[in-house]
Structure 1
Amino acid sequence: MNVSFRPHWLLAVALPLVLAACGDSEPDQRAAFKQFLQTRILDKPGVHVPKPTAEESKAFGDYSSHYAVITDFNGKMDESVKPLGNLVKTLSVRSLNDVIEHRNDLQAAKNGLNEMGEHLKQYQAEADAAHAKLKQPDDLKPVYDKAYDRTVSTPTNAFMDVLPQIDTAMDAISKVGDYVEANKAQIQINGSQITVQDPKVLEELNARLQAVNAQGKAVQEAQSRMQSVMFGR
């Protein structure tokens, strides 16, 4: 009797071991995560932060939390830089009238720009701290680090490069507006026609307008560099 029941007892013990082996192992999860990072982020030009499907997230296992460091940062960054388009519009001055009309908007725009920069620094610092705490096998870490650099460090640096250029351009516009206000007795504006009575005032005004043009060009160049980073152009 005892001998006849022994195979059933052995089967009952072995069955959980077989079932456990059917689940995704850590090497399989790591391989799936590495392939996702390589093919969906690193092999593509520009900055891509794809959203994994439910099946992909399941295949990553605990490594899904590693990817969340990247996606959480990008969600915050996207929200933070949304006002950038409107801020750049403030710099779209084509005449002295535009400068005067934008004069009162510039300080609010500068405040928004500074706030944007502070948020980006904070979000990057938080992501860097979370990144530093991740424990990863030697074959995964270099792939993840490259993906992190592509999706966190590189876009942040690109935005942080263009923000000071915009700020300097805003300062140049402000100086023109302030100068016109201080010398409005000498400067007459009638539509696109500008008449300046004092040659010295004309010279100084032109110098300030040239500074606006130069800073506008610098902003465009910084934007082009940022687009090259973001879109891989």
Structure 2
Amino acid sequence: MHITSARIGRFRALCACLVFGLLLAACGSKEPAQRAAFIGFLQARVLDKPGLRVPAPTAEEKASFGDYAQHYAVIADFNEGMNKSVSQPMTQVMAKGALRSVADLAARRDDIQAAKQGLGGLRTALDQELAKADGARARLQQPDDLKAVYDKAYEKTVSAPAATFKEVFPALDGVFDGALALGDYIEKNKAKIQVSGTTLRVTDPAVQAELDRMLQALNGQSKAINAAQAKMQAMVRGS
């Protein structure tokens, strides 16, 4: 077989391309290092820290994660969204629906009703933020070693806070419902109830008994709120 110089040249060129391609593959595969950097960040900065921590990575750290920076964005975006659309507005709802005294329940009916309606909006907002985060997480493609660590971080920073926050809603609903019912009852029986400052004086024993029952139920709901808030604080602090 006669090998011409042209064929030799083409063969050398093909070999050169193959070698160059292999070198590119070897030099361009940054994924293992990026994955290791991301796993290390999740473990050291999120999982190993007590309580709820969602630290903002530095520009250098984000660069070291490569495409995995978008995986962390799912967690960070949820917490930012929950803070803006749920946690901060919750403070306003609680302030508006705060029970100052039994005596002014009837006068503040509109405030309490507005707080109850606002609570429904917060529940919807939390459901939307969680659904968005869960949907984004479901679309992530992760190697098994990263998935194991990421799943724990997601549970700690997304799933658990959302579930704990949701425990407050039924208790708050109960308090607002009980307060509205109590205010309506006082208004309905105002001829038998004398209001003096923050004190109620009742002339009808049957009315007094019903007021006592309603107040006990309201106090029970308040204890449920305190228990849910204590659980949330313990989760945030890690104690």
Name the TM-score class by shorter chain: 0.7 to 0.9
SS in 1 for 2:106: helix
Aligned to 1:224: 230
State whether residues 91 and 216 of structure 1, in contact with CA within 8 Å, keep that contact through their aligned partners in structure 2: no
Aligned to 1:215: 221
One-letter code aligned to 1:198: D
Encode CA deviations 1:91-139: one digit per residue, 9 max, x unaligned.
5435222423432211111111111111111111111111111111111
Q: Aligned pair in 2 of structure 1 residues 193, 68: CA closer, same or farther (>3 Å)?
A: closer
Q: Aligned pair in 2 of structure 1 residues 52, 65: CA closer, same or farther (>3 Å)?
A: same
Encode CA deviations 1:126-184: one digit per residue, 9 max, x unaligned.
11111111111111001001101111101100111111111111111111101001111
SS in 2 for 1:97: coil
- The separation in 2 between residues aligned to 1:141 and 1:192, in whole angstroms, is 57
The counterpart of 1:61, out of the listed 62, 66, 77, is 66
CA displacement at 1:21 relative to structure 2: 5.8
Which consecutive unaligned segments of at least 5 residues does structure 2 have? 1-12
One-letter code aligned to 2:75: I
State whether residues 91 and 169 of structure 1, in contact with CA within 8 Å, keep that contact through their aligned partners in structure 2: no
Aligned to 2:81: 76
Identical aligned residues as a percent = 51
State whether residues 42 and 146 of structure 1, in contact with CA within 8 Å, keep that contact through their aligned partners in structure 2: yes
State whether residues 166 and 219 of structure 1, in contact with CA within 8 Å, keep that contact through their aligned partners in structure 2: yes
What is the aligned-residue RMSD (CA, Å)? 2.2
Q: Does 1:152 align with 2:158?
A: yes
- The separation in 2 between residues aligned to 1:125 and 1:160, in whole angstroms, is 14
- The separation in 2 between residues aligned to 1:135 and 1:109, in whole angstroms, is 42
One-letter code aligned to 2:216: Q
- The separation in 2 between residues aligned to 1:23 and 1:46, in whole angstroms, is 38
CA displacement at 1:73 relative to structure 2: 1.1
Which consecutive unaligned segments of at least 5 residues does structure 1 have? 1-8
Aligned to 1:27: 32
Moved over 6 A (4+): 12-20
Q: Does 1:143 align with 2:149?
A: yes
Aligned to 1:186: 192
State whether residues 49 and 71 of structure 1, in contact with CA within 8 Å, keep that contact through their aligned partners in structure 2: yes
The count of aligned residue pairs is 223
- The separation in 1 between residues aligned to 2:95 and 2:216, in whole angstroms, is 19
- The separation in 2 between residues aligned to 1:85 and 1:205, in whole angstroms, is 29
